[in-house]
């Protein structure tokens, strides 16, 4: 019933976005500026999809179709070891949004994402350091790593989700590789998820009790994230490094049963995440005889989200290149009104920037083209953005940006080419900042609207 309520709520939220298709142009309103809330359920599950002769999960050929048929109970799902029976998993699943397989064992990374909600971006990264061949682990036999997706939970609600499958085994070289894995993922999150809400759920192959994993310092403390098991089951108490492993009763949801499959999260600027549950799924993923369908247990959690009533994120327009950015990594869009805005461009849009009344300057993009700047009056706000995207160098880029103020003044740069999106500020709001993707150029762009007069 939880999922059904969530879908009804989110359908209503999506209905708030008015989209009108006319020729090659799209007109979209960014939201209402009102607070939004909802719930969703997540699952991480190592499904043990290696070929039967190598699998430790029992009977993957028969078990994985059964797993697929049970995934409907969750909204966001990360699977690992989804190798040679991937088609059977998807054939029995009903989620409308699913990532394509990267290949079977020895070719693909085994990770996939299934979702009730659309996702904007996707990236797969192989670990820089892996260790283990046959007879000494198997982590170098397939390109294990991590996976990134930016999910649109509801209109104006974006959450960055990360799947991972870290190096296994406890020999010194495997432990060193696993520490490198965590550091590599943390560095990526620091760069690509600035300002965004984040959930990391997958197979870490880590335990807090292992001093060599150093999980809390390398990952949790570094990123300001929380572990849902620690928060909901252990009341915030982290196990002591170097202590005996917390094996507890296998399959139980308890403070003394630590599993390597974990769920971490943090809220973002404008989106607050709150987990209400943590569960080791020890009875759901079983066959008619009670046999577990994998050698791992599925780990689930229900989350609620609440948006900041002062802020609304618009739809995004553009491609998946560049590096993700969010002007709300700084609090300037909340604490200080923009006093000027600049667009750098020529054949395309190369950069966008804003200067705020407190002196803060926020910018993203490259150094090409010519910069055009519009100084805003004290009682003047940007209330409309027209964005054109077109194909360039095997991906979409932003070719043209036009900003209109409450006094009818216009700042524009680039070339009108391709398909346009018009973003109009919801009543009582103004453009406080940008988010999207960019590096040498601006690859993708969206607006952050702020309520006039809010604090």
- Spatial separation of the C-alpha atoms in residues 158 and 325, rounded to whole Å: 13
Q: Hey, what CATH topology would domain 12-17+24-32+309-451 get?
A: Vitelline Membrane Outer Layer Protein I, subunit A (2.100.10)
* Cα 401 from Cα 390, distance rounded (Å): 12
d(CA 202, CA 179): 16
pLDDT of 422 reads: 98
Residue 229 has phi, psi (to 5 degrees) of: -65, -45
Residue 401 is predicted with a pLDDT of: 98
- Torsion sign (Cα): 401, 402, 405, 410: positive
The single-letter DSSP state of residue 441 is: S
Could you tell me if 151 and 268 are in contact, meaning their C-beta atoms sit under 8 angstroms apart? Answer: no
Torsion angle of alpha carbons 43, 44, 50, 56, nearest 10°? Answer: -100
Question: In this predicted structure, what is the pLDDT of residue 135?
Answer: 55
Q: How high is the pLDDT of residue 120?
A: 87
Furthest CA-CA distance within the chain: 72
User: What is the predicted pLDDT for the residue at 10?
Assistant: 38
Cα 351 from chain centroid? 24
Residue 28: predicted pLDDT? 39
- Distance, in Å, from the CA atom of 319 to the CA atom of 321, rounded to the nearest integer, reads 6
Q: Please give the Cα distance from 57 to 105 (Å, whole number).
A: 15
Question: In degrees, to the nearest 5, what angle opens at C-alpha 240 toward C-alphas 227 and 299?
Answer: 30
Neighbours of 401 (CB within 10 A): 24
Helices (H), 281-364: 332-335
**Which of 401, 303, 300, 283 shows the shortest CA–CA distance to 352?**
401
Q: Identify the CA nearest to 411 among candidates 347, 342, 348, 357.
A: 342
Ranges of each domain in the chain: 12-17+24-32+309-451, 36-307
Structure tokens at 2: 């939880």
Q: Which residues contact 379 (CB under 8 A, 6 or more apart)?
A: none
Beta-carbon count within 10 A of 409 CB: 14
Position 30 scores a pLDDT of 41
388/444 Cα distance (integer angstroms): 10
* pLDDT tens for the 455 residues of the chain, in order: 333 333 333 333 333 333 333 233 333 334 445 789 999 999 999 999 988 655 566 789 999 999 999 999 999 999 999 999 999 999 999 999 999 999 998 899 999 999 999 998 899 999 999 988 755 567 888 899 999 999 999 998 999 999 999 999 999 999 999 999 999 999 999 999 988 999 999 999 999 999 999 999 999 999 999 999 999 999 999 999 999 999 999 999 999 999 999 999 999 988 999 999 999 999 999 999 999 999 999 999 999 999 999 999 999 999 999 999 999 888 788 889 999 999 999 999 999 999 999 999 999 999 999 999 999 999 999 999 999 999 999 899 999 999 999 999 999 999 999 999 999 999 999 999 999 999 999 999 999 999 998 66
CATH code 3.30.565.10 for 36-307: no
Question: What is the per-residue pLDDT for 253?
Answer: 98
């Amino acid at each position: 019933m939880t999922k059904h309520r969530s879908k009804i709520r989110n359908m209503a939220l999506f209905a708030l976005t008015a989209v009108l298709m006319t020729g090659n142009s799209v007109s979209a309103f960014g939201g209402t500026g009102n607070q939004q809330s909802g719930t969703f359920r997540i699952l991480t599950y190592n499904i043990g999809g290696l070929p039967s002769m190598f699998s430790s999960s029992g009977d993957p050929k028969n078990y994985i179709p059964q797993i697929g048929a049970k995934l409907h109970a969750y909204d966001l799902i990360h699977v690992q070891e989804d190798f040679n029976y991937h088609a059977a998993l998807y054939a029995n699943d009903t989620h409308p949004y699913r990532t394509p397989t990267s290949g079977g064992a020895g070719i693909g990374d085994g990770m996939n994402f299934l979702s009730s909600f659309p996702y904007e971006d996707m990236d797969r990264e192989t670990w820089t350091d892996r260790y283990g061949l046959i007879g000494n682990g198997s982590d170098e036999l397939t390109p294990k790593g991590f996976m990134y997706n930016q999910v649109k939970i509801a209109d104006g609600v974006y959450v960055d989700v990360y799947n991972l499958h870290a190096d296994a085994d406890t020999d010194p070289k495997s432990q060193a590789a696993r520490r490198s894995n965590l550091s590599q993922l943390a560095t990526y999150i620091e760069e690509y998820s600035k300002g965004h809400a984040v959930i990391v759920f997958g197979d870490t192959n880590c335990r807090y009790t292992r001093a060599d994993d150093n999980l809390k310092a390398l990952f949790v403390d570094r990123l300001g994230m929380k572990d849902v098991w620690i928060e909901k089951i252990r009341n915030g108490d982290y196990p002591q490094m170097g202590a005996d492993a917390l094996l507890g009763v296998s399959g139980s949801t308890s403070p003394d049963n630590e599993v390597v499959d974990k769920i971490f999260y943090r809220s973002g600027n404008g989106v607050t995440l709150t987990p209400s549950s943590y569960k080791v799924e020890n009875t759901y993923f079983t066959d008619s005889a009670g046999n577990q369908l994998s050698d791992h247990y599925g780990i689930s959690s229900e989350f609620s989200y609440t948006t900041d009533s002062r802020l609304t994120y618009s739809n995004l327009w553009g491609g998946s290149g560049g590096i993700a950015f969010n002007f709300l990594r700084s609090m300037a869009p909340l604490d200080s009104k923009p006093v000027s805005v600049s667009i750098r461009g020529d054949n395309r849009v190369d950069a966008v920037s804003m200067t705020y009344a407190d002196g803060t300057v926020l910018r993203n993009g490259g150094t090409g083209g010519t910069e055009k700047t519009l100084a805003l009056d004290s009682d003047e706000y940007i209330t409309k953005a027209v964005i054109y995207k077109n194909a360039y160098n095997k991906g979409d880029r932003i070719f043209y940006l036009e900003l209109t103020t409450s006094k009818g003044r216009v700042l524009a740069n680039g070339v009108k080419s391709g398909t346009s999106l018009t973003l109009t500020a919801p009543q009582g709001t103004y453009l406080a900042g940008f988010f999207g993707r960019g590096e040498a150029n601006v690859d993708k762009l969206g607006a952050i609207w702020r309520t006039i007069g809010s604090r």
